Amino acid sequence: MVGWGYAKANGPATWPNLFPIAGGRRQSPIDIKCEACQKDSSLSKIQAVYSGIKVSELSNTGHAWKAQVSGGSSSLKGGPLGTDEYVLEQFHCHWGKTNDKGSEHTVNGKCYAAELHLVHWNKSKFSSFAEAASSDGGLAVLGMFLEVGSEHEELNKVCKLLPFVQHKGQAITVTEPISPAAFIPKNGSYWTYAGSLTTPPCYESVTWIVYEHPIQVSQTQMDAFRSMKSYHPCETCPEDELAGALVENYRPPCPLCDRVVRVYKD
Ligand code: SG7
Ligand code: ZN
């Protein structure tokens, strides 16, 4: 076995064997059941400012594409985050093989084609991303649903580089500025709850903020995601059911247990 993944033999159902916390009571993603969400008038709009942000590197982690951020200054606050300031570390995506599934969170059982994650860490309380990632209150992830429609101009800056990172472990330097703010839906309504990383080690350190309104990407852009491979260029193509295609890289919903999902309406 070559570590965790999304195939039957190493997929989400097997993660708790290697990472016990993956079987915990605060895991992500979840199915958001709108009827059970709590309207909370103390919640405010999320304030995300990304100025002079540089995407230093785009890579294929074998589990997704990932855009690593460096330099510039970013600040995420408001909503459930209170006065603590969170900074952007990286963004990445999860998607399906076809357009009818691929998101990690679902809404009343509805799946979207993909889900984009902007991963931030709490700079007010921690001194590094690694420290924050394993600590309660350490991370805040903005989740956006992607549906197939018109082309997303900003995301194209990522898509056109994907041919250079087709295989696991490949990475390229990004020179063109990419503005993560362009991925945030114009309508700021969101759901928020206490959860976890959706991949091993599944640390229960994430304040999730999932936007209600999806953003649109084109079929061609989705196909660019799906052209990626989950294996290293020196390895032969795995014989599992995904045949080495980097698709279906989403974890299905986990039990809500005793948590409450709060909703903010813009
Ligand atoms: C993706 O999702 C990657 C991971 C990320 C993980 O597989 O982007 O990042 C790295 C460093 O490979 O893990 C710690 C971390 O950010 C889980 O992030 S998520 O919960 O937002 N999906
Ligand atoms: Zn993610």
Reported as a pLDDT band with limits 50, 70 and 90, residue 238 is confident
Tell me the best of 55, 197, 206 to mutate to test the pocket of ligand 1, counting ligand atoms within 8 Å of each CB and taking the most: 197
At 76 the pLDDT is: 97
Q: What does the alpha-carbon distance between residue 218 and residue 149 come to, in Å, rounded to a whole number? A: 5
Helix count and strand count (H, E) for the chain = 4, 15
Per-residue pLDDT tens digits for 126-170: 999 999 999 999 999 999 999 999 999 999 999 999 999 999 999
Q: What does the alpha-carbon distance between residue 173 and residue 168 come to, in Å, rounded to a whole number? A: 16
Neighbour-count burial for 3-35, b at 16+ CB within 10 Å, e otherwise: ebbbbeebbbebbeeebebbebebbbbbbbeee
At 232 the pLDDT is: 92
Give the active site residues: 63
Per-residue pLDDT tens digits for 97-135: 999 999 999 999 999 999 999 999 999 999 999 999 999
Quote the mean pLDDT of the chain.
Answer: 96
117 lines ligand 1 (CB under 6 A): yes
Q: What does the alpha-carbon distance between residue 58 and residue 201 come to, in Å, rounded to a whole number? A: 22
DSSP structural state of residue 229: B
The bound ligand whose nearest atom lies closest to the alpha carbon of 208 is 1
Nearest residue by C-alpha to atom 2 in ligand 1: 199
Q: Indicate the length of the chain as a whole number.
A: 266
Do residues 215 and 146 lie in contact, with contact meaning Cβ atoms separated by under 8 Å?
yes
At 241 the pLDDT is: 84
Per-residue pLDDT tens digits for 17-49: 999 999 999 999 999 999 999 999 999 999 999
At 35 the pLDDT is: 96
Please name the residues in contact with 218: beta carbons below 8 A apart, sequence gap of 6 or more: 148, 149, 150, 151, 152
Residue 177's identity, in one-letter code, is: P
At 142 the pLDDT is: 98
The bound ligand whose nearest atom lies closest to the alpha carbon of 119 is 1
From the alpha carbon of 63, which atom of ligand 1 is closest?
A: 7
At 52 the pLDDT is: 86
Structure tokens at 182: 């362009």
DSSP for 167-191 reads STT-EEE--S---GGGGS-SS--EE
Per-residue pLDDT tens digits for 211-231: 999 999 999 999 999 999 999
Distance 92 CA to ligand 2 centre (A): 6
Reported as a pLDDT band with limits 50, 70 and 90, residue 72 is confident
Nearest residue by C-alpha to atom 14 in ligand 1: 133
Structure tokens at 237: 């193509």
DSSP for 69-109 reads EESSEEEEEEGGGTT--EEEEEEEEEE-SSTT---SSEETT
Q: What does the alpha-carbon distance between residue 102 and residue 93 come to, in Å, rounded to a whole number? A: 10
133 lines ligand 1 (CB under 6 A): yes
| Whether residue 16 has a cis bond before it, omega within 30° of 0 | no
Q: What does the alpha-carbon distance between residue 153 and residue 219 come to, in Å, rounded to a whole number? A: 13
